[in-house]
Amino acid sequence: MVDIATRVWNHKWKIDPIVRSLIDTDFYKLLMCQSVFRNRPDTTVTFSLINRTSTVRLAELIDEGELREQLDHIRSLSLTRGESTWMRGNTFYGKRQMFTPAFMDWFEGVRLPPYELEKKDGQYELTFEGKWPEVMLWEIPALAVLMELRGRAVLSAMGRFELQVLYARAMTKLWEKVERLRHVEGLRIADFGTRRRHSFLWQDWAVQAMLEGLGPSFIGTSNCLIAKNRDLEAIGTNAHELPMVYAALAEGDAALARAPYDVLSDWHEEHDGNLRIILPDTYGTEGFLARAPDWLAGWTGIRIDSGDPAEGAETAIRWWQARGEDPRQKLVIFSDGLDVERIEELSARFSGRVKVSFGWGTLLTNDFRGLAPGDALAPFSLVCKAVAAEGRPTVKLSDNPRKAMGPEGEIARYKRVFGVGEQVVREVVV
Amino acid sequence: MVDIATRVWNHKWKIDPIVRSLIDTDFYKLLMCQSVFRNRPDTTVTFSLINRTSTVRLAELIDEGELREQLDHIRSLSLTRGESTWMRGNTFYGKRQMFTPAFMDWFEGVRLPPYELEKKDGQYELTFEGKWPEVMLWEIPALAVLMELRGRAVLSAMGRFELQVLYARAMTKLWEKVERLRHVEGLRIADFGTRRRHSFLWQDWAVQAMLEGLGPSFIGTSNCLIAKNRDLEAIGTNAHELPMVYAALAEGDAALARAPYDVLSDWHEEHDGNLRIILPDTYGTEGFLARAPDWLAGWTGIRIDSGDPAEGAETAIRWWQARGEDPRQKLVIFSDGLDVERIEELSARFSGRVKVSFGWGTLLTNDFRGLAPGDALAPFSLVCKAVAAEGRPTVKLSDNPRKAMGPEGEIARYKRVFGVGEQVVREVVV
């Protein structure tokens, strides 16, 4: 058993690099990477780091040399034999050979492309540009590196004993959440917390806590390395980057309006069952569902990732009913800003009406709120997004204007094309 | 840094014997041992284990073989060279050569005498008989062994992860107490928790927590091994066994009435300063102080170990005033059933009126209440007392009838001789 406090105290960062494997990333990245590799392998995209919590001045907290060291380390990683064997031979979502031999041959040789790093206004501008299937692999490790380096900067000022008490408190806090979740009947929950985790060791501990405390209610982790090491299900489907890039590439408004469905049409060809999960909020859930083709209503479920989660689920239920589908056969995956209370509420409200499942992120793997002076270890809202494709800016609207991104003019055009009206502002916690 | 959960999980008891040194005991035992060695070396006494918490059925929880193994291990211990050097060369209570060469020569050769062990009514009857200076050394290790073996029996059923969470919770709980104590102005507090500690490693952790959290307000530990290893003050003076044995040896009522003062008269010859601490409650505090010779009022302070602690301190203050002493120059040491709240209350009430100091025992080193199912790790009230001297039974009255011990007829005689009337019953927590 790892004594995290001691490991942290030892400051032997070389034995604990932040990202220690190419598959220390979310499973949906690998699925999307394969889809992109198949459908849009030569598209040039740009990913950029965006810190929504501007009060956390990362460039003042994190040493640039250390940041470069960690990023360079990630560029040195390639798929190990054991990792390749796992990806080729393991069953994912009940299916063998989820990853095709052609994709695996390519993935075995892949290295992460170069990065651009600059400081501006107390923040780091970190940008990745290149072929989509390669560049997209930067998102999760880049976030994990920034998040953990900020934590390490705070931890390095703490004494050995303070560290032990810190982790004792964090463990107690997390375990109390797990104990509360035990009482949620029919719970199905997965770890989605890689990108904003406190650290790799901590995420690994959190996964063990969930496993020990929740048994079969804990259905797996989005983190492939942890899933592999601990023999768990790797969980995930697809994310906003697919419709965002497809949309940016669309020529004219008609093609733009069709783009989000083109994404899912490609996905429909590649996957079935529990991998057919709609992520409807990129350009507004209401409009997306209203204009969706009928074959989409036949999909297994929906993931609610912004806006009021209960409203999002109600919208989905009404939509399925309108399309003659039985919502009780459908899966609703909640994955936005979850903590125990919201999980309890959503579970109570929707169990029996739909199949409910949770992807629990930041407040599972990084709830260090209140544990350090000045709350210096509280998680913050850091994202790494596809901001351009073939030189054209991407746009995201989401069901919460606080999560919208893109140039103003383009946002207005997208709103018009997708018929998005007034939106309710919700605080972005993490 | 020791990862206690892992050590406990490893079950390598051989590398973690419960008592690992002859000086893994309370400092006052060594002081009293020297006093007895000088004044009553040939007295034969009997010590017995008494479990006041009869609901904890030790003989059903603890394997007899394991118990014997631990007790036999203690009998194999003798003073190491480093320990001898520390006792001979260290400064205790500001004084060099606290232990005389004659005592040290004898102590270096001492081994603990045999024990008698039987099971009866779900309890262990554990008895030690022999020369007082040797037999008395059994008290603290015998208690620590029983207390920890009971804990180990509970821990052995726990998984690796449960253990980690258990200790994380215990650390958090203890650290929160330490943080509260930081706000107690002028606090002076020592660890008195060896006898009923959860384990040696845990006591050692608790001491480090106090040291880190309280700085100079933490004045030391009663545990000689920890004091030596961590370069802390060893704290302690004298205990009830002295007046109990002196009283049992007294011929007739007049000698009996004088016995408690004879003890302190011997002590007066041997010690000065902060070691001149009266323990007045063996046969009732009120009467003891009322009949005390004037030279006792000149002693440095008093230790309150039973009854209502505030009343005990008020009684002492009135007594000093009646004897023309300035209570503000006197030290009151509270050592009975302390936890944070009582420490705060007593400190608020008496600081400025007397010098206040605390000897914090069980709820410092074994507050595992509420941390295991069925509260199976909660501390309980186990004592090991001198029950006979030269074949005569000993008696203790104390300021709380729940703590009284001895044959009924003798208790009645002692009450008459020492003029003890009605006493208020107080629940014995630990």
pLDDT in tens, B219-272: 999 999 999 999 999 999 999 999 999 999 999 999 999 999 999 999 999 999
Least confident range from A56-70, A157-171, B21-35: namely A157-171
- pLDDT band, residue A3 (cuts 50/70/90): confident
Contacts A–B by Cβ distance under 8 A: 51
Cβ separation A162–B212 shorter than 8 A: yes
Q: What letter would DSSP give residue A129? A: E
| Selected residues 165-184 of chain B with any CB under 8 Å from a CB in chain A | 165, 167-169, 171-172, 175
This prediction's pTM: 0.86
Q: Do A209 and B165 touch (CB under 8 A)?
A: yes
Closest residue to A161, CB basis, from B3, B165, B208 = B208
**Within 10 Å of residue B120's Cβ, how many Cβ atoms?**
8
Rounded to the nearest angstrom, the minimum Cα separation between A161 and chain B is: 7
What is the least distance, in Å, from the CA of A174 to any CA of chain B? 10
Q: What tokens does A47 get? A: 């990913």
Q: Which CATH superfamily is domain B4-418 in?
A: nicotinate phosphoribosyltransferase (3.20.140.10)
Contact list, A212 vs chain B (CB under 8 Å): 159, 161-162
A3 closest CB neighbour out of B6, B172, B212: B6
Task: Tell whether the model's pLDDT for residue B2 goes beyond 90.
Answer: no
Phi then psi for residue A293, to 5 deg, are -65, 155
Please answer yes or no on whether A212 and B9 come within 8 Å at the CB atom: no
User: A215-256: per-residue pLDDT in tens?
Assistant: 999 999 999 999 999 999 999 999 999 999 999 999 999 999
**Which residue is closest to A206 within chain B, CA to CA?**
B161
Residue A94 confidence class, pLDDT cut points 50, 70, 90: very high
ipTM of the shown complex: 0.78
Per-residue confidence band for B12, with pLDDT thresholds at 50, 70 and 90: low
Task: Give the 3-state secondary structure of chain B.
Answer: CCCHHHHHHHCCCCCCCCCCCCCCCEHHHHHHHHHHHHHCCCCEEEEEEEECCCCCCHHHHCCHHHHHHHHHHHHCCCCCHHHHHHHHHCCECCECCCCCHHHHHHHHHCCCCCEEEEEECCEEEEEEEEEHHHHHHHHHHHHHHHHHHHHHHHHCCCCHHHHHHHHHHHHHHHHHHHHHHCCCCCCCEEECCCCCCCCHHHHHHHHHHHHHHHHHHEEEECEHHHHHHCCCCECCCCCCHHHHHHHHHCCHHHHHHHHHHHHHHHHHHHCCHHHCEECCCCCCHHHHHHCCCHHHHCCCEEEECCCCHHHHHHHHHHHHHHCCCCHHHCEEEECCCCCHHHHHHHHHHHECCEEEEEEECHHHHCCCCCCCHHHCCCCCCEEEEEEEECCEECCECCCCHHHCECCHHHHHHHHHHCCCCCCCCCCCCC
Best interface-test mutation with B: which of A172, A176, A218, A368 has the largest number of B CBs within 10 A?
A172
**Interchain CB contact of B6 with A (< 8 Å):** yes
**CA quadruple B80, B83, B87, B90: dihedral positive or negative?**
positive
The Cα angle at residue B290 between residues B288 and B291, in degrees rounded to 5? 70
pLDDT of residue A13 exceeding 60: no
Spatial separation of the C-alpha atoms in residues B223 and B6, rounded to whole Å: 24
pLDDT, residue A15, reads 62
CB contact under 8 A, B175 and A165: yes
Q: Please state, rounded to an integer, the average pLDDT across all residues of chain A.
A: 95
State the amino acid at position B374 in one-letter form. G
> What is the token pair recorded at B400?
């709380």
Buried/exposed code over A351-372 (b: 16+ C-beta within 10 A; e: otherwise): eeebbbbbbbbbbbbbbbeebb
| % chain A with pLDDT above 90 | 91
The single-letter code of the amino acid at A19 is V
pLDDT at residue A14 in the model: 60
DSSP assigned state of A112: P
**Dist. CA B154–CA B168, nearest whole Å:** 17
Indicate whether A428 pLDDT > 90.
no
Calculate how close chain A gets to B3, using CA atoms only, in Å. Answer: 6
Q: For residue B160, what is the nearest residue in chain A, using CA coordinates?
A: A1
Q: Average per-residue pLDDT in chain B?
A: 95
Contact of A295 with chain B, judged by CB distance below 8 Å, is answered with: no
What values do phi and psi take at B282, rounded to 5? -55, -45
Q: Cα angle at B195 between B191 and B196, to 5 degrees?
A: 90
The mean pLDDT value for A357-379 works out to: 96
Q: Which residue of A has its CA nearest to B6?
A: A1
CB-based contact (8 Å) between A160 and chain B? yes
List the beta bridge partners of residue B124.
B119
Look at strands A392-393 and A382-389 and give their pairing: antiparallel
A172 to chain B, closest Cα gap in Å: 6
Residues B236 and B223 sit within 8 Å (Cβ to Cβ): no
Of all residues in chain B, the one with the smallest CA distance to A175 is: B165
pLDDT surpasses 60 at A11: no
A215 inside 8 A of chain B by CB:
no
**Cβ separation B169–A169 shorter than 8 A:** no
Question: Domain segments of chain B: what residues?
Answer: 4-418
B48-B50-B54 Cα angle (round to 5)? 155
From B6, B160, B171, residue closest to A168, measured CB to CB: B171
Name every chain B residue with its beta carbon within 8 A of the beta carbon of A172: 165, 168-169, 172
Could you read off the pLDDT of B176-198 as tens digits, one per residue?
999 999 999 999 999 999 999 99
Q: What is the pLDDT of residues B320-365, one digit of tens each?
A: 999 999 999 999 999 999 999 999 999 999 999 999 999 999 999 9
Q: Are B137 and B22 in contact (CB under 8 A)?
A: yes
Residue type, B45: V
Where is pLDDT greater, at A385 or A423?
A385
pLDDT bracket for residue A185 (50, 70, 90)? very high
pLDDT at A274 over 90: yes
Per the model's pLDDT, the better-predicted residue between B4 and B84 turns out to be B84
Q: Please name which of B175, B56, B35 lies closest in space to residue B124, comparing C-alpha atoms.
A: B56
- Is A161 touching B (CB cutoff 8 A)? yes
Distance from CA of A61 to the nearest CA of B (A): 27
Res. B160 pLDDT band, cuts 50 70 90 = confident
Largest Cα span, chain B = 62
Long-range CB pairs of B132-135 (<8 Å, 24+ gap) are B132/B36, B132/B40, B132/B41, B132/B43, B132/B44, B132/B45, B132/B245, B132/B389, B133/B33, B133/B36, B133/B37, B133/B41, B133/B106, B134/B110, B135/B45, B135/B46, B135/B47
Q: How far apart, in whole angstroms, are the C-alpha atoms of residue B195 and residue B141?
A: 7
If one compares A341 and B158, the residue with the highest pLDDT of the two is A341
